[in-house]
Each structure stands twice: as structure tokens, then as C-alpha cells.
Amino acid sequence: MLFAVPWLGRVILGTTDTPRADRPLDPRPFDDEIDFILREAGRHLARPPTRGDVRSAWAGLRPLVKPAGAVRDTKAVSREHAIVVSPHGLVTVTGGKWTTYRAMAEDVLATCMRADLLPTRPAGVTRHLRLVGAPTRSGSLVPLTAPPGLHLYGTEAAVVATLPGADRTIVAGLTEAMVRFAARHEFARTVEDVLARRSRQLFLDAAGAVAAAEAVGGILAEELGESFDASTSTRAFTTLAAGYRLGPSVA
């Protein structure tokens, strides 16, 4: 199955299902996986994409719950999470994925209540609780397909707009003020924190993120003071981002 998901002004193409025996901290997609995705996408898009169209390529490893029987094909293994309570009361959650984090948490609490590990309470009390920075219900909503910008900060956009550098763009969708906000309010401590985690520049355009790294490092130095080594953090991010940029096909 192939996905083409519009996201932050780009399109994410994926995904593959390749078993791996290793567990790298930052896994990279294999060349044959990239070629497979581009080839299959080309069968359905008006213009077949090439490696030159790819702005960033990355991979993730999903933990799967091992089934009781012998299953050779990982496609047949459930993507759902499993909760196990040991005789000593240790609660273990395996499998699942971060996009279902809330459902997983609710299931864990329900399991703990049934096992008398927690007092029984009404379920789902946070189901409609709005997260920090979520846009107000009355405000106009910008679709997630739109390019990144100040709208992504929701109710905190006004705070970002008051910080120094709100009118100075480092790279499309990222201003100096956004970097300062990341350091002051989102506990960003490295260039990677800003360009990969607080914003999504690394995943949208790896080359653009590299081009912004030095400027981001300079702003973080102003915000964090002597505890921050701008050169080391910038260098570490540049090395990381190199793995997200595609070279020519090895096929």
C-alpha cells in the first residue's frame, strides 16, 4: 500500500515494510525502498517523481507485537498495541504508534483500574481537552496541508509575534522569533531541536534546513548563553541532515 499525504506544503510518499535486525538510533531508508516508492508513485501521478524531486527522505522503525504463531510476513502482524500486567503489577505496553498515544494511554488506565492498581474513575475526561497552543474553536482553521507559518502556533501565535525577529525569515516558514520561542518556551537546546523537532524543516527540505542551521545556532547562542556551543550543535545537525538528502540512485 502506498500513501501520498499532503503535509505542510509538501507531499509525503510512503511507506515500505522492510524487516530489520539492527536498531539504529536514526535509521535511514534503503535505496531500494526509495526506488520502490518513486516507481510506484510514478504509476499514479501525472508526472513520475524522481530523486531530484525528493527534498528529504527518512525512515522509522515500528515495534510490532510478536504473534503467538509463526508469521513470516510482517504485513500480517497487527499494528495495534498490547498491554500486559505481570503478577507483580508491572504494566507493559508494547507495539502501537505515536499517532494513537491517547488511545493507548486510555487503555493503560482502564487496564490498571480493572487490575485494581488504580482507583476506578470515569474514563475519557480529557478526550476533548485542547492542547496548549491549539487554535480556538471560533478562530479560522488553516489546513495542515498549508505551508508552515505563524498559524501553527494557534493561541500562542501572539506571543511569538512579540519576540525579536518576528519579521525576519530564516527559511520559509521559520522566523527568528520562532527560534527564540522554541528556546524560551519549548525547551529547545540544540539546532536539531529547532529544525527537526520544534519545526519540521528537516523533514520538509533537508538542504534548506542545513542552510538555516548556522543562523539558528547563532540565535540559540543569544538565548542560551555560554552553556550553548553553537559550532558543535550546528556541526552535529549538519552531519545528521546529510543522511536525509538523496544522492543518485545506486541501481
List, for residues 14-52, the tens digit of each pLDDT value: 988 888 888 888 899 999 999 999 999 999 999 999 999
**The pLDDT of residue 156 is above 90:** yes
* 8 Å CB contact between 57 and 244: yes
- Taking only the tens place, the pLDDT of each residue in 17-27 is 888 888 888 89
Question: By C-alpha distance, which of 158, 152, 174 is closest to 220?
Answer: 174
Phi, psi dihedrals of residue 129, rounded to the nearest 5°:
-75, 125
Q: At what angle do helices 230-242 and 206-224 cross, to 10 degrees?
A: 160
pLDDT mean over 113-140 = 86
Q: Cell numbers for 135, please give them.
A: 487554535
pLDDT mean over 62-74 = 68
pLDDT at 70: 60
pLDDT at 63: 77
pLDDT grade for 131, boundaries at 50, 70 and 90 = confident
| DSSP assigned state of 193 | I
Average pLDDT of the chain?
A: 90
Could you give all domains of the chain from N- to C-terminal order, each with its CATH number? Answer: 3-53 (no CATH), 63-130 (no CATH), 150-242 (1.10.8)
pLDDT at 250: 42
